[in-house]
C-alpha cells in the first residue's frame, strides 16, 4: 500500500512512518518543517517539504496517487489558537478540507485522521471520557480539530471514502520536542538534565492521560485495516497529575529531591481529562501495552543520551 503521511517529520508521525515502512508499505511524507525535523524523516520515505495549504500539494497527490492518507499535520498549539483563531482554522479546517478534496479527485481509498481527545470534549462531565461525550471544546484548537470529523462523515456518505478517526490523549516518548506546550515529559527531562527550573502551570493538580508513542503507532497500524467509519479514543483511561509526571521524571533521572516552581494557569486548557478506550479495544483490537512508569523511563533515557551526544551534559 502507498500511504501519504502528513506531518511525517514530526514526533508522532515519524514513528508511524517508520513502522509503515518496516511493514513493507510505500510512504510519502508531506511536512513544512515548522515543528518537525528533517532528520526524523525515514530515508526510505519520499519527502515533500510543503505546507498542507500550499496549492502545490495537488501535484503531490496527482503524481503519487496514494491508497491511503494518515493525516497528522496540524496547528496544535492551544495558546496560539486562542491568540490566532483564524490561522488555526486555516490550517486545521481548510487545510484538511483541501486534502480531502484532493483525495477524492485521485481516488484515495482510506483516511486515518488524527483528532484530539484532550481538547474536543471540553471539561469532562465524568471520567474517563467516552467517545459519545458531548463535544464542548474550550479552545479554538479543540473546535478546529473536531470539525474535520464531520467532513469525513460527509465524504464517506457522498464519495465512499473510508476513514478512521483517532482521538489522541497526551502522547510522549523519544523524539518529542521540549520546545512546545504539549511535551511535558520532554520539557521536564531536558530542564532537569540541564539544571533548569521546571514550571507547573496552576497548582500541579491538572490531569492528563499519557500514552507512550509505541502504543500510538500500533493504533495507526490497526486503523489501516479496521474500524471503518469509527471514532476512537487512544488513551489509557488513567488521569495523571502534572505533579505526578514531574515526580516520575525526576525519579527516573535520579533527582528525587528536585522541586518545581508554579506558574499561572494557561488560558484555553481544560483541568482534567482521561480517555476511555473500550471502543478502541473492540473496534481496533487496540489497548495500551506500555505502562507510564516504563514509558517515562524509556523517554528520559532518550533525552539523557541525546544531550550527551550534543555535548551539553557529561556521559
Q: How far is CA 139 from CA 76, 117, 120, 157, 227, in A?
A: 11, 13, 9, 29, 28
Q: Is 113 tagged catalytic?
A: no
Report the pLDDT value the prediction gives residue 180, as an integer from 0 to 100. Answer: 66
Mean pLDDT of residues grouped by 10 in the chain (315 residues)?
98 98 98 96 98 98 98 94 97 98 98 96 95 96 98 98 97 90 88 96 95 98 98 98 97 96 86 96 98 98 96 91
Helix (H, G, I), strand (E, B) or coil at 190: helix
Q: Active site residue: 87, 113, 121, 141, which one?
A: 141
* Cβ-based neighbours of 297, under 8 Å, separated by 6 or more: 252
For residue range 122-153, list pLDDT tens digits in order: 999 999 999 999 999 999 999 999 999 999 99
Task: Tell me how far apart the terminal alpha carbons of the chain are, to the nearest angstrom.
Answer: 42
Torsions phi, psi of 99, nearest 5?
-65, -35
Name the E strands within 83-205.
Answer: 110-116, 162-168, 170-172, 199-201
Torsions phi, psi of 72, nearest 5?
-100, -25
- Say whether the peptide bond before residue 42 is cis (omega within 30 degrees of 0): no
* C-beta atoms surrounding 203 within 10 Å: 11
- Cβ(204)–Cβ(241) below 8 Å: yes
| Domains defined along the chain, listed by start | 2-171+212-234 (3.40.50.720), 173-208+238-273+290-309 (3.90.25.10)
Whole-structure pTM value: 0.96
Report the pLDDT value the prediction gives residue 178, as an integer from 0 to 100. Answer: 87
Report the pLDDT value the prediction gives residue 256, as an integer from 0 to 100. Answer: 95
* Cβ-based neighbours of 192, under 8 Å, separated by 6 or more: 198, 249, 250, 253, 255, 258
Q: How far is CA 2 from CA 17, 23, 216, in A?
A: 11, 12, 20
Tell how many helices (H) and how many strands (E) occur in the chain: 11, 13
CA distance 270 to 138: 7
Helix axes of 11-22 and 213-223: crossing angle, nearest 10 degrees: 60
Report the pLDDT value the prediction gives residue 182, as an integer from 0 to 100. Answer: 65
Written as nine digits, the cell of 249 is 521524571
- Cβ(88)–Cβ(147) below 8 Å: no
Amino acid at each position: 500500500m502507498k500511504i501519504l503521511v502528513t506531518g511525517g517529520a514530526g514526533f508522532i508521525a515519524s514513528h508511524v512512518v517508520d513502522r509503515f515502512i518496516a511493514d513493507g508499505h510505500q510512504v510519502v511524507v508531506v511536512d513544512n518543517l515548522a515543528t518537525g525535523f528533517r532528520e526524523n524523516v525515514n530515508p526510505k520515505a519520499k519527502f515533500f517539504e510543503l505546507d498542507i495549504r500550499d496549492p502545490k500539494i495537488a501535484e503531490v497527490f496527482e503524481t503519487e496517487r496514494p491508497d491511503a492518507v494518515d493525516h497528522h499535520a496540524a496547528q496544535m498549539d492551544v495558546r496560539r489558537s486562542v491568540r490566532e483563531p483564524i490561522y488555526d482554522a486555516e490550517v486545521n479546517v481548510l487545510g484538511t478540507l483541501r486534502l480531502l478534496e484532493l483525495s477524492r479527485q485521485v481516488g484515495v481509498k482510506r483516511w486515518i485522521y488524527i483528532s484530539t481527545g484532550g481538547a474536543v470534549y471540553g471539561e469532562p462531565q465524568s471520567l474517563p471520557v467516552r467517545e459519545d461525550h458531548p463535544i464542548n471544546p474550550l479552545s479554538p484548537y479543540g473546535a478546529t480539530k473536531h470539525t474535520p470529523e464531520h467532513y469525513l462523515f460527509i465524504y464517506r456518505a457522498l464519495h465512499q471514502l473510508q476513514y478512521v478517526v483517532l482521538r489522541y490523549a497526551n502522547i510522549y516518548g523519544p523524539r518529542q520536542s521540549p520546545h512546545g506546550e504539549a511535551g511535558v515529559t520532554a520539557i521536564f527531562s531536558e530542564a532537569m538534565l540541564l539544571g533548569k527550573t521546571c514550571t507547573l502551570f496552576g497548582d500541579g493538580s491538572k490531569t492528563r492521560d499519557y500514552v507512550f508513542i509505541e502504543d500510538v503507532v500500533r493504533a495507526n497500524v490497526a486503523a489501516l485495516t479496521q474500524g471503518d467509519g469509527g471514532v476512537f479514543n487512544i488513551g489509557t483511561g488513567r488521569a495523571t497529575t502534572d505533579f505526578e509526571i514531574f515526580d516520575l521524571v525526576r525519579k527516573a533521572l535520579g533527582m528525587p529531591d528536585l522541586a518545581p516552581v508554579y506558574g499561572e494557569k494557561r488560558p484555553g486548557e481544560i483541568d482534567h481529562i482521561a480517555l476511555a478506550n473500550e471502543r478502541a479495544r473492540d473496534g481496533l483490537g487496540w489497548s495500551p501495552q506500555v505502562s507510564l512508569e516504563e514509558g517515562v523511563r524509556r523517554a528520559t533515557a532518550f533525552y539523557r543520551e541525546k544531550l550527551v551526544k550534543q555535548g551539553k551534559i557529561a556521559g
